[in-house]
Amino acid sequence: MKIIVPVKRVVDYNVKVRVRSDNSGVDIANVKMSMNPFDEIAIEEAVRLKEKGVATEIIAVSCGVTLCQETLRTAMAIGADRAILVESNEDLQPLAVAKLLKALVDKEQPGLIILGKQAIDDDCNQTGQMLAALADLPQVAFASKVEITDGKASVTREVDGGLETLLVTLPAVITADLRLNEPRYATLPNIMKAKKKPLEIVKPEDLGVDVSPRLKTIKVSEPPKRSAGIMVPDVATLVAKLKNEAKVI
């Protein structure tokens, strides 16, 4: 069974982005870029399935600019066997990415597609569910445990009140939540090996997909600032302030 893992290149989770003064977007020139943290978890899960003998090949896919090759090399250093870059300078929104992935799913016929639940830049939380819709596959979003037996996946997912377990027939789409696993670090030898693994480059046109954005960003602004608070010296002062000043208790 093949597994496809889509990985997105995003601003590193440690970076606090700044809004551009002309409100046209956030400033990402010269900031550290990394693989979306949820996608590292997705890759790790695929690698574990391969180590268990469930999967035979892992294909990492990224859609975006030329530099996404770095993200794909990282995925291969963690354990993906090969990679596909769908190269485009367009602002790729989740629906467009889902269509590109659908085209690759048609071509590669994977048994499983594992995505991250959410990209930490656009915070959309959409692409996996959209891919499942377009490919007409079962979906399990926000997975915290995956077990594969006899062509089915038993998946535990995080829901608002706790956890639930679903059984889906493969092929299926799964999106990874934080507690699915703890991703390994890529070792130096594996980083070296990843440089020699195959990385194919295709264009959206090659896949017959129109990637024009459906949403227009009118402006990007700073969130409202909280006014500065005060430090209190002790618990008694805190209680007095909450009672008499804030009036919340």
Ligand X SMILES: Cc1cc2nc3c(=O)[nH]c(=O)nc-3n(C[C@H](O)[C@H](O)[C@H](O)COP(=O)(O)OP(=O)(O)OC[C@H]3O[C@@H](n4cnc5c(N)ncnc54)[C@H](O)[C@@H]3O)c2cc1C
String of contacts with another protein for each residue 23-42, x by CB under 8 A: ---x-----------x----
DSSP reduced 3-state for 55: coil
Considering the rule CB under 6 A, would residue 37 count as an interface residue with ligand X? yes
Q: What angle is formed at CA 229 by the lines to CA 228 and CA 232, rounded to 5 degrees?
A: 150
Scanning residues 182 to 241, which ones bind another protein (CB under 8 A)?
214-223, 226, 229-232, 234-236, 238-239, 241
Window 87 to 146, contacts with ligand AMP (CB under 6 A)? 92, 94, 97, 115-116, 118-119, 122, 124-128
* Residue 239 binding: pick among ligand X, ligand AMP, another protein, none (C-beta 5-8 Å cut-off by kind): another protein
Distance separating alpha carbons of residues 27 and 121, to the nearest angstrom:
12
CB 16, CB 40: distance < 8 Å? no
Per partner kind, with CB cut-offs from 5 to 8 A, the member of ligand AMP, ligand X, another protein, none near residue 185 is none
What is the total count of residues that contact another protein (CB under 8 A)? 77
- Cβ-Cβ contacts under 8 Å for 247 (sequence gap 6 or more): none
Residue type, 88: S
**CB nearer to another protein: pick between 80 and 176:** 176
102-121: contacts with ligand X (CB under 6 A): 120
CB 200 to another protein: min, Å: 25
The interface partner of residue 215, options being ligand AMP, ligand X, another protein, none and the CB cut-off 5 to 8 Å by kind, is another protein
C-alpha–C-alpha distance, residues 175 and 72, integer Å: 18
> Binding of ligand AMP at residue 62 (CB under 6 A)?
yes
Q: How many CA atoms lie within 13 A of 40 on its CB side?
A: 19
Q: Are 153 and 167 in contact (CB under 8 A)?
A: yes
Using CB atoms within 10 A of its CB, is residue 75 exposed (0-12), middle (13-18) or buried (19+)?
A: buried
For residue 31, the 8-state DSSP code is -
CB of 124 to ligand AMP, least distance (A): 4
Nearer to ligand X, 37 or 128 (CB): 37
CA distances from 240 to 229, 232, 244, 249 (A): 15, 10, 6, 10
Among 68, 139, 143, 174, binds another protein (CB under 8 A): 139
Q: Which residues bind ligand AMP (CB under 6 A)?
A: 6-8, 36, 38-39, 42, 61-64, 92, 94, 97, 115-116, 118-119, 122, 124-128
Q: Which residues bind ligand X (CB under 6 A)?
A: 13, 37, 120
